[in-house]
Structures are given as C-alpha cells and as structure tokens.
Structure 1
Amino acid sequence: MGMYTALRLQKKLSRREAEIMVVDPQPHMTYQPFLPEAAAGNISPRHVVAPLRKVLRHSTVVTASVVGVDHTRKIAFVQPPVGPVREIKYDQIVMAPGSISRTLPIPGLKENAVGFKTIGEAIYLRNHVLAQLDAAASTDDADLRRRALTFVFVGGGYAGIEAMAELEDMARDALRYYPELKQGEMRWVLVEAAQRILPEVGAEMGAYTVQRLLGRGMDLRLNTRLDSCVDGLVMLSDGDVFDAGTIVWTAGVKANPVLQLTDLPLDSRGRVTCAATMQVITADGTVVPGAWAAGDGASVPDLTADDPTVTCAPNAQHAVRQAAQLGTNIALVVHGAAPVPYKHKYVGSVASLGLHKGAARIFGMNFTGLAAWLLHRTYHMSRVPTLNRKVRVVADWTLALFLKREVVSLGQLHSPRVEFTEAATPAPARPVAREHTREAAVTS
C-alpha cells in the first residue's frame, strides 16, 4: 500500500518539490493475493515480493518499525534493526501499515497454529505440508500417520479457501512420489463459523465452491467454531475431536496495532478515520492537516454504497486504487489544489481453487472452472507492481506448462543453525575404562 503510494508520488512530484521517505520493517512489499500460488509452488516466492529499494529509486527507504507518531509535532519515531530509536520529521504523513491476523483467545492457538498473511508463512506452510507427507510415509504408526495427514484451515474467506485449495492440489500432485500413501488418507478440514464461504463472490458462487471442494474429498464444517487445539488436538463446536499436524488460521484480519501508537483519531475497530479524500478527520469531520491514511488500516467511506456509514472493504482491489488516488491527492495539495474523493464501484471478485480451477463473479456474471482461473490470473497480473515482477510471474506460469512442479521440502530454512550448533557443541568425554580386580573368595 505504502509502496504504491510512493510510486505515484514519484511520478507526480519532482525531487526538488519533495523528499519521499518510506518506512517499513520489511525491505520488500508482498503482493498477498499470490501467496497461495507461492505456497503451492506455482510461483517462486521471490517473485511475489517487490524489493523497495529497487522499485522506489527516487525515494528514501528506511527499514525500521514505527514505534510512535506525534502528529502534533509532526515527528515519527522509528526503531531500526540495530541502534537507538530515530526521530523523523515530516510535513505530510501517510499511515498505511495494513492489517494483521485477527485471532481469538482459543486454547492452543498461539502455540500450534500459523497464519497466512506473509511470504514467510507461505514458504513455511509449503515446507511443512510436504514434511508432513514425508513423516507419514516414514512411520508405521497409524495414529501418527493420521495426525500428519490431517490439515485444518480455520476461516472460509479468500485466504483460507485459496490456501487450502492450492496446498491440497500440491499435496495431491506430490503423492505420486509417495507409494506408501493413498489420496484417501489425507484429510483436509475447513472450519467456518458462518453458514457460507467466500461471501465476496456471492451466494451462488459460494455454493459452487462448496460443491467443488466436497467433490475433492474435503471436509467442510460450516456453522462450526474451533474451541481448542492444545497440542494439536482439535476440538470443534460440533463435538468432533481429532489430532491434526497442521492448523492454519485465516479467520479475518484487524487493523495493525501500530496505529494505537499514534495520536491520530481512530474508529471503534482501531482504523484511522478518514474522509473520502483519504485525509484523516476527527470525530466531528474536521480535517487533520498533513495526515493521510488508506488500505486495511483506514476507515474510508464507500461513496458507491447507499448507506453513508459503509466503508471500503479491506481488500487488494480497494487498497491498490486508493494508493494511486492518495498519491495524486498529496501531489494536488502540494501544488495548492484540492484533493479528489476516492470512489470505486466494486466490479466483482475472483478466487483460485487450485491449478486450472476457480470461481468468479464479475459485473454480475458468474464464471467457473478454467475461465474463472484465467480471470483470476489475468486480474492479479494487471495489479502486480513493476514490469519486472510481471515478467517473472508469467515466466513461472509458462514453465509450469511444460515442467512438473517441485515437491521437495526445504524445512531446514526454518531452523538453519541447528546442524551447525550441534557440530559446534563439544562432544561429551568418552568414559574411561576401569580395571576390574577379581577378588578371590576365601572360605575358612
């Protein structure tokens, strides 16, 4: 979000007019809609991220975490990876930290589940799922094998459905190299508290998706909650209890808590309150000079809705467009003009359900199967930042037409120092052999 805004500012303002500074704890921007394909091995993980220093050549990139914003004095406090906290003075500030996973106080969730919002989580899940296949194929214990081959996804929105569908597709392909395992032994469980899944694509396409996933042998639990997962023992609100080696949490998002470290006005959901121009406003509608926000962490009115209290949904379709409009608006204000309200009518939604499978609703029309899958790829390709990323992603897709996907786990990536630490640990001293003297028994 911040990167897209900076890209637009670079085009609208010269270096003589403004210095653009981007502060982010990661040195890259992640295009999240492609995380499921990166996890499934359809796209190289490196091609899902855009390095900020390479993309924003006319901006100053600071790799650091924001630990406070005093907008009254127009100072941002940032913590670099090393060294003390820095103070950065500014004239205009854009708060676009995005969102984080919205979790619940469920026993065992923190210790046993993984989210699906970052490239690190996507890479981890890919390696973990393949490692579970290795573990299952290497044991004769039926309980251990059943646990390893049970994969639970909590949340029936885009992230949960696409992640589960893509990873199941990958695991199904991988089974050809595991003669010890059968397709029927894998258990893929979706847990959704609501009555339906994928509400963004409409009820009809949501029902279609349910039928497609059931046809692939997946276990869908609607109107069901996760009550506990201590030590991997999954307890559902419908009374079912079973062990699972993989638990993925994708049940919603919430505004990044970094917004709580600012003196900017927030709504009841922790988002910065904004006008349609994306200028920050107070509760009475007064514009806060020099402050802007957009994306998942901003409460921006949706001007296409009949209800004036409705705000733009936290999705990529709005975020990318808001960023472009926000960059333009800041440039207009710098040049002494009035900013333009953001208005975008939601054109529809697309979802991938694995290789060559999808569901979409665009301009009121439904698309399924290969057509929906192609629409999914075409739309997101048009939104991936920079020509460099687009070419690399297309190259990955093209190669996949002729080469089988790689299904090897690189689990050592997640603990690379273990082997070295063991090698560097002094071996225990060998026990010294002691001489045993045989005592003769004397009988008197």
Structure 2
Amino acid sequence: MNNVTRPRILVVGAGFAGVDCVRRLERKLAPDEADVTLVTPVGYQLYLPLLPQVASGVLTPQSIAVSLRRSKKYRTRIIPGGAIGVDLKAKVCVIRTITDETVNERYDYLVLAPGSVTRTFDIPGLTEHAFGMKTLAEAAYIRDHVISQLDLADASHDPAERASRLQFVVVGGGYAGTETAACLQRLTHAALKRYPRLDPGLIKWHLIDIAPKLMPELGDKLGRSAQEILRRRGIDISLGVSVDKATPHEVTFTDGRVVPTRTLIWTAGVVASPLIATLGAETVHGRLAVSAEMRVPRHDGVFALGDAAAVPDEAKEEADAVCPPTAQHAMRQGKRVADNVIATLRGEPLRPYVHHDLGLVVDLGGKDAVSKPLGIELRGLPAQAVARGYHWSALRTNVAKTRVMTNWLLNAVAGDDFVRTGFQSRRAPRLKDFEHTNAYMTPEEVRAHVEEHGGEAALG
C-alpha cells in the first residue's frame, strides 16, 4: 500500500529532455516537497549525436552512455522498464518492467519525454532486412556487421557474393545518415590495408535520400561542400531516390536500380514514440500538441517535450513553427519543464520555452566536417574543432568527457584494430528487433488495464 502523501512527479524517458528535467527537479525541489520517479528501460542517458562514431569504432559504446546511477546525490526513484500506455483521465501510467510485469504507476504530475523511434514506411522487406541507427545496440551491431562483411568477402570464393558483401546502402540524407555513411566509409577504407586480397574497387557506399538536397538546414554552400567531401571519398550520392523493396541480398531503388548488398542502414527520419498514440490526445504530425509552456491542453499537470512533442518555436516568426527534434532543444526544454512543474506545484506563473538556435555541426570523420555555429559557415579543421567541441561540452559528466576525449586521441594516433565482438552472431536482428515498437497498448487496452488492476505502484 502506498502511504506517500507528497505530490508524485513521474518522468517518462531518460533521453536529453527527461534527464535534464530530473536533474533540475532534484536541484530545485526540497526533499520533502515532492517524490520524483523516472521510467526508463535502460540505466543510462545516451548521447545520440555520437552514435555514428560508435558504429565506426572511433568511440567505445560505454563512452557515450552516461550512467543514471553514478551520482551519489541522485535521489530519484528509477523504474527499469518502458511506459506502454497512459490513462490521462485516471492519472495512471502503464509500465512494462524489465521483468516483463505490467504494472500501473499513479502520478500527480506527468512529464512525457519518451523520445522518438525510427520512421519507417510500408516498403516490402524494410523492417525485416534494414538496420537502424537509433540505439546503442544498433550502433555496436552495425560495426560488427560491417567488419563481418569484410571478413566474409575475404573468405568467399564466389565473386558475386564478394561484390555484394562489399556494397553498403545508407538511406537518409539528414545528419544521422550523412555522418553514418561518412564514418563507416572511413572505417572500410582504413581496413583495406588489413585485407590485401580484397579489391578496393569493390567497396562501394551508397547514400540515398528522397529529398532534393543533402542536409538542407545547412544551406546550399555547406550542403554542397558536404556532398563534395563524400563524393571525393567515393560515396555514391543519389537524391530524389528511395528504396522500393529490400531482400536479404539486394536493394531495389525507386529509380529502378538494383544494388546487390547485405547491408541496408535506414536513417530516414524519426517519429514520436508510439506511446503518444496511447493518450488519445491532440497531435501535430504525430507529435503531441503542447502550449509554449509545454503543457498538454485540457490535462492539468501533464507536460510533454523533446522529440515526442510539437513544442512551439517562439524564437521564430512563423506562427506554426515547432522546435526540431534535436538534442540542443531537448536539453533546454527539460530544464524549462522542470521549472514549470515546480511553478505549478507552488502556485507560481509558468514561463514559455524560448531558445534561439545555436547552429549546426556535422562531423564527417577525420579532418572533414562542416559547421554553422551562430550562422557562421565553417569547413575542414575549424568546423571539426567546433563540432567536436560542441559534442564534448554537451556530455553531462567529467567521466564521459574524459572517455570521449581519450577515445578521440587514441583513434587519431593508433587507428582501428577492426575487432568485432561477435555478439548475436547466430542471429541477424534488424530494425524491427531493436526498437520494440510493437510493445505499446492501444488507448482502449490502457483503459481496460487500468480499470482491471487499479493504481498499484511499480516496485522501485
């Protein structure tokens, strides 16, 4: 039985938005003022922008996964599991714990920061045969997979098989796709000296996107610079093109080309977590509609932010502008939501979220980068310094900063050992296996579960 009388604040999601919200709540709330609970399936905050460098072996997985339990002052209760439904009327969140129990957690204030999942389309074979680049496991697995293709091609006596294993397709011309293709192409290029039997001409990387421009947010000049860098490296860039169908051994493009390949990496955007669809609340292009203070309309005490919420961008003149799903916004939204939750608790006025974008950084590996800090266009080493400096400063702990800096220096001096761990070597998981998008309830299932089980609290 739960005898706690203090207000219960439930935060869903341990990404940039959720963790920054929790940290702010801990700093500004008195210990007896409210109880804070965090729901997350993993015990760490992942620094997503550096995933391509994990996939390419520049960084170790541990270096960008910041433990939530490391801080000695951390007093937030953590529920290891995923929120799979919310009944806003009953003020109950349905959670599937890591022990596979489905439990109800009551709240007085709810902060929804479940993030996003990879956006897919109804393309034959896509979810069965493509890899994503959204989780730490996916990045580590892709590295293993790419090195495995080099090993298998080196061992193969079939020219057709060897050629297909040495072709790689990345879909998505945004930051994630461009950096993934750039970093992994450097990995395979550097590996060639270790595989003398392989013909360098057989290794081909394809970067495709349905949009007419690569990373249009960078502007025409920097976008063209990025394309020139990638094309000089031998990466084939096709714009206005997507995937028509995929099989285990080939990918068919919408322009009719068929590419024999065992590697399809899908990074064509993100959509809000499926949790949002369980709420029965208003959405904007799949993201939860919220006010400038990040409150969910008609639901007192419910806030939403980050990738899953359509937060109005008050810094722009357009009336319907919403903040893009970036770490830069999520971190700052987390702090403002925490302040607004506390203001609600104390009966004080809420403040809207306003942030002027600081710019964009794209790390293409090695000495190559393009950046646009505060509107200033940079290329090469200056851009690389800005890109890595920004990422390094955004890491939350000194331990993480030390690990990342050490990894960067070690990779620059010693290069890669091209070691694969071999984990999950007997099974070939793809995009559909990593993000568990089929785990969520429908709104009807949420209501039925809450009515049947009441408001028992999850164990923590």
Query: What is the TM-score with the length of structure 2 in the denominator?
Result: 0.86
Gaps of 5+ in 1: 283-287, 417-444
The answer to whether residue 129 in structure 2 is matched with residue 118 in structure 1 is: no
3-state SS of paired residue (2:140): helix
Q: Percent identity?
A: 35
Q: Say if 2:160 is the partner of 1:149.
A: no
Note the alpha carbon deviations across 1:139-164, whole angstroms, 9 max, x for none. Answer: 12110111000000011001100011
Which structure's relative contact order is higher, taking Cα pairs within 8 Å and 6+ residues apart?
Answer: 2
Which of 386, 390, 404 is the matching residue for 1:393? 404
| Aligned-residue offset at 1:362 | 1.8
1:138 aligns with 2:155: yes
Match of 1:357 among 368, 372, 394: 368
Q: Does residue 206 of structure 2 align to residue 195 of structure 1?
A: no
Aligned to 2:219, the other structure's residue is in SS state helix
Return 406-415 or 126-135, whichever deviates more: 406-415
For residue 46 of structure 1, report the CA deviation from its aligned partner. 0.7
Match of 2:262 among 224, 229, 245: 245
The one of 13, 30, 39 aligned to 2:55: 39
Say whether 1:5 aligns with 2:30: no
233, 244, 248: which one aligns with 1:216: 233
Contact 1:124–1:414 (CA<8 Å) still a contact in 2?
A: no
**Residue 398 (structure 1) shift:** 2.6
* Corresponding position: 1:128 with 2:159: no
Q: Equivalent residue for 2:180? A: 163
1:288-437 matches, cutoff 5 A: 288-415=299-426
Aligned counterpart for 1:68 among listed residues 66, 85, 107: 85
Alignment check: 8 A CA contact 2:284 2:310 kept: no
> Counterpart in 1 of 2:294?
278
Give the Cα separation in 2 of the matches to 1:13 and 1:334: 10
Amino acid at match of 2:393: S
Bigger mean CA offset, 98-107 vs 333-342: 333-342
Q: CA deviation at 1:415?
A: 4.3
Distance 1:77 1:234 in 2: 39
How far did residue 400 of structure 1 move? 2.6
Which structure would you say has the larger Rg? 1
> In structure 2, the residue corresponding to 1:331 is in which secondary structure?
helix
Contact kept in structure 2, 1:5 and 1:326, CA below 8 Å = yes
**2:96 corresponding residue in structure 1:** 79
Aligned twin of 2:246: 229
Deviations 1:176-225 (A, max 9, x none): 11111233220000111111111221121111111111111111111112
TM-score (norm 1): 0.89
| Secondary structure at the counterpart of residue 248 of structure 1 | strand
Instruction: Give the C-alpha shift of residue 135 in structure 1.
Output: 0.8
**Greater mean alpha carbon deviation, residues 88-97 or residues 47-56:** 47-56
Alpha-carbon deviations, 1:20-55, whole Å to 9, x = none? 100012222211001011111111101111222224
**Larger displacement relative to structure 2 (82-91 or 288-297):** 82-91
* Corresponding residue SS for 2:85: strand
Question: Against the structure 1 CA distance between its residues 154 and 401, is the aligned structure 2 distance closer, same or farther, given a 3 Å change threshold?
Answer: closer
Give, as a single letter, the amino acid of the residue that structure 1 aligns with 2:270: V
SS of the equivalent of 2:283 reads: coil
Q: Which string of whole-angstrom CA distances, capped at 9 and with x for unpartnered residues, describes residues 76-118 of structure 1?
A: 1211122532221111100000000110111111221111100
Report the 3-state secondary structure (helix = DSSP H, G, I; strand = E; otherwise coil) of the residue aligned with 1:365: coil
How far apart in 1 are the matches of 2:229 and 2:410?
27
Task: Read off the aligned partner of 1:133 and give its amino acid letter.
Answer: L
Distance 1:45 1:143, change over 3 A: same
